[in-house]
Amino acid sequence: MAKQILVVGSVAIDDIETPAGHRSDSLGGSATYFSTGASFFAPIRLVAVVGSDFDAAELDDLRSRGVDLEGLEQVPGKTFRWAGRYGADFGDAETLDTQLNVFEDFDPKIPESYRETPLVFLANIHPELQGRVLDAFEGHRPELIGADTMNFWITGQRDALLKVLSRIDLLVINETEAHMLSGKKNIYDAADAIRAMGPKILVIKRGAYGALLFHPDGLFVAPSVPLRKLADPTGAGDTFASGLMGYLATCDTLNFEAFKRGVLAGTVLASFACEGFSFDRVKTLTRVDFDERMMQLRALISVD
Amino acid sequence: MAKQILVVGSVAIDDIETPAGHRSDSLGGSATYFSTGASFFAPIRLVAVVGSDFDAAELDDLRSRGVDLEGLEQVPGKTFRWAGRYGADFGDAETLDTQLNVFEDFDPKIPESYRETPLVFLANIHPELQGRVLDAFEGHRPELIGADTMNFWITGQRDALLKVLSRIDLLVINETEAHMLSGKKNIYDAADAIRAMGPKILVIKRGAYGALLFHPDGLFVAPSVPLRKLADPTGAGDTFASGLMGYLATCDTLNFEAFKRGVLAGTVLASFACEGFSFDRVKTLTRVDFDERMMQLRALISVD
């Protein structure tokens, strides 16, 4: 039986434009993407906020996937909105519009029933909110605390972010963010500097170049899944983290080998995420789909 | 006993500037770098040209490494010169000066004693010269023909290059060159297009992101050696190819697994090349150095 995972992050309404198409008023947000992906492996508890404009039926799919929504607050006001556009290379999105709305005054409350959750993931959200969730776990620290962040918080909320980093076990960020956070040009120097800030385990995502896993027991270099046609990279980072945390929730022992396989699981889930708009492809994922691509990915680095 | 490798390419005098230092009148050239690296594994036969200004003592080191220089012509005129500068990221060099000199009228002659060489490598040089070397092997085709090229020939000598590509087994180029040669943005589409031009085996070098090996039996994704301090990337591409071809020269069967290990051997040799100026580090390489780094590299992609 997989362990429970608590995730705090955003639930959002997105407008997304990619070279493959356009979608308006689409369910998004870091916690939503994470929950959808991680529910493939483990029972999820979600902490987030939506506005009075939010149609609860939007979450029927999450509910049907066994995601516990007791920690999702609905408050007066408008739901968080994000609009972004991807260029021809499907690289980092250009943010066209961000409306924090109900997230401006959000004070995350952890339901009593969530207090013993063994795995916690702080998805991309204001680091002060990430910190307040950790406060709720004082006295009964989870087995593993992971976090994500983004350029916006690295430059704008550095002090709050450094406090969070000092309290977590695992950080999952991309290469640009790693250079920005550490101020180091060399990626191995960057990793040293970031791990000295707190997280002993660091995953640096490099898009089509795969990912690096820095662990006290060594370094692991994960390849990416060879993709020829992308549809929408939105949420790929959250989905990567969901595969990693979700896989770890199925492991008795969280050692280096478990993290290696977790990074590969995250890579597999993220590759499916990119192949459809929004959650389209991840939602229809079967165990056979996952296992086949996992085997394909492992074959890429197998050598006698 | 390793098989013989014939290499045709340039012998040059370089002026190199990197963030780590500067060196003038330094021995360089694609054939020189290749011979130095590959002689670590196998006996080498070199085909190239130098001018009357060239001091033959410069090649004492190659000779002492068992490189056969019967195919090196000395002709009236000046030796090929190249000057380049690397920026803070140690990426592609900015070429400051190129003087083809004796290479303008070079007509490579293959000594009779070289005619049965089992492995041939066409290092970076005008594709017409690469083609003329292959002409000399008509009627007794080598077991394996590999080649390198560069942006300059891809854009300026496309027809001659395409003719060479149709006659070889293995092409080793970098990512930018692969996109340029194929006109494809997606790297897997680029690989398909290039392999349709002739070489059934394709290695795409991605610098610090490692290398991709496309082979009829599958795809292999090689990591790079984690380097924190580079000195001079000049010749790293030639040295990579030398490790790959050199390793293959030690194999009875040139199957997918042999090519995988060859790509790792090339990665290891190239990493040493970058750590010193010119040939400094590769020249002092020991078997223990090589084996240790090969183990380190393989550990990066080992997963239970």
CA distances from B225 to B113, B230, B273, B296 (A): 38, 12, 12, 8
Residue A84 and residue A96: Cα distance in Å, rounded? 5
Which among A89, A219, A260 is the nearest to B303, CB-wise?
Answer: A260
Interchain CB distance below 8 Å, B304 and A257: yes
The predicted-structure confidence for B173-204, as pLDDT tens digits, reads as follows 999 999 999 999 999 999 999 999 999 999 99
Which among A185, A226, A227 is the nearest to B219, CB-wise?
Answer: A226
Interchain CB distance below 8 Å, A189 and B228: yes
Residue B9 and residue B32: Cα distance in Å, rounded? 8
- Chain A's closest residue to B192, CA to CA, is A228
**Confidence at residue B269, expressed as pLDDT on a 0 to 100 scale:** 98
Interchain CB distance below 8 Å, B206 and A206: no
Residue A187 and residue B299: Cα distance in Å, rounded? 19
The predicted-structure confidence for B133-161, as pLDDT tens digits, reads as follows 999 998 889 999 999 999 999 999 999 99
Question: Spelled out in words, what is the top-level CATH class assigned to the domain B5-299?
Answer: alpha beta
User: What's the mean pLDDT in B197-224?
Assistant: 98
What are the boundaries of each domain within chain A? 5-299
Residue A153 and residue A155: Cα distance in Å, rounded? 5
**Confidence at residue B209, expressed as pLDDT on a 0 to 100 scale:** 97
Residue B275 and residue A4: Cα distance in Å, rounded? 47
What is the share, in percent, of chain B residues with pLDDT greater than 70?
100
Minimum distance, in Å, between the CA of residue A160 and any CA atom of chain B: 30
- Chain A's closest residue to B211, CA to CA, is A209
Pairing relation of β-strands A119-122 and A5-8? Answer: parallel
What is the pTM for the complete model shown?
0.96
> Which pLDDT band, with edges at 50, 70 and 90, does B58 fall under?
confident
Residues of chain A with pLDDT under 50: none
**Confidence at residue A59, expressed as pLDDT on a 0 to 100 scale:** 87
- Chain B's closest residue to A225, CA to CA, is B221
Q: Which residues of A touch B299 (CB under 8 A)?
A: 218
Interchain CB distance below 8 Å, B264 and A304: no
- The interface predicted TM-score (ipTM) is 0.94
Interchain CB distance below 8 Å, B301 and A298: no
Minimum distance, in Å, between the CA of residue B68 and any CA atom of chain A: 33
| Contacts A–B by Cβ distance under 8 A | 62
Interchain CB distance below 8 Å, A221 and B210: yes
Interchain CB distance below 8 Å, A257 and B303: yes
Over the Cα atoms of chain B, what is R_g?
18
Which among B88, B186, B226 is the nearest to A188, CB-wise?
Answer: B226
